[in-house]
Amino acid sequence: MNCEAHGVVTVSVPWATEGSHFTALFEALIIDWLKEASIQAVSRQLKLSWNAIDGIMQRAVKRGLARREAVSPTKIGVDETAFKKRHDYVTIVSDQVTGTVLHVGKDRKKGDLKAWYESLTLTQRTSIESISMDMWPAFIHATLEGIPEARNKIAFDKFHVAKYLGGAVDKVRRQEHKALMAEGYDDLKGSKYDWLYNPKNMTYKQKRRFAALRDSALKTARAWAIKELAMSLWHYVSKTWAGKGWERWLSWAMRSRLEPIKKVAKTIKTHLWGILNAIVLNVSNGPAEGLNSRIKMLKVRSRGFRNKERFANAIYFHLGGLNLYPEGVLQ
């Protein structure tokens, strides 16, 4: 409207939100479309600019985060996901009970995660019962400094231990295969994935072939057996008995004379306290890994993101569990 005293001024209307060129109902429609397709696809179908659609998404996320009630998660997961190649990551903090993203960090450094912890009240931080994560030092130090009694809550789950041990078995296989081929033997030829597969998922033919390798005197067979024993140590309820089981495993691994296995065993020994927490708390980073897979799908659908702000915006939009719609529009 044109005011004689103040010139042209804007007024609020019940059918649109501040800063938007669209009605609330139209923005709600765009939000529904964005849940099913990328910004580019929605822009093309509705013949609107990319920036117009992105603006609607940004306003939706801003509303959703402002409306989000104070979170009091009891079980959280801390994980990293790649923004681009060359080790450019963001940190994802998720609620393992609701399966939603609580925080998207700009990197995977200690300061960002610690700042998020400090944004919580003491009561909220104290109510956290478990923090599942990998063995990245920045995550560990930030949590030890930011969460009360974190030493009893940090959990290094089975998935990451299996990943480290699987990599060690593969290194042993590659070293042994090279040595055998130099002597004219091809015992390990074409067996790479046999050592990585779960035997339960093998076909009958694969099981028969693998059984011969597994029961052989190969170094790779010994490395695989050590890995499999570690994977069987997650059934304990008592931390004391779990500790004894892992100590026996560590003794075997360190006496194995297999350098890749010994290297992982040293890592496990250093972080054994968190592995025991994962066992007795019965938590894993599986939910966080599931979110990570969905984030990768978002990147593929969007063909990447211009910057981390838009990347975080998309994660909150799709995985934040937020109320995104304009005021007065029913979900």
pLDDT in tens, 54-72: 999 999 999 999 988 878 8
- The more confident residue out of 19 and 283 is 283
pLDDT score recorded for residue 164: 94
Buried b (16+ CB within 10 A) or exposed e, 222-258: bbbebbeebeebbebeeeeebbebbeebbeebeebeb
Tens of pLDDT, residue by residue over 204-214, are 888 888 888 88
Per-residue model confidence (pLDDT) at position 299: 86
Question: Backbone phi, then psi, for 75, in 5-degree steps?
Answer: -130, 120
Q: What are phi and psi of 253, to 5 degrees?
A: -60, -40
Residue-wise pLDDT tens digits, 291-319: 888 988 888 888 778 889 999 999 999 99
The confidence score (pLDDT) of residue 205 equals 82
Distance (Å, whole) CA 9 – CA 275: 62
Dihedral of alpha carbons 216, 221, 226, 227, sign: negative
Percentage of the chain beyond pLDDT 90 is 61
Residue 274 has a pLDDT of: 96
| Dihedrals phi, psi of 275, to nearest 5 degrees | -65, -40
Residue range 5-23: mean pLDDT, rounded: 69
Across the range 134-156, mean pLDDT stands at 95
pLDDT digits (tens, 9 = 90+) for 72-112: 899 999 999 888 776 788 999 999 999 999 999 999 899 99
Instruction: Give the model's confidence band at 1: pLDDT under 50 very low, under 70 low, under 90 confident, else very high.
Output: low
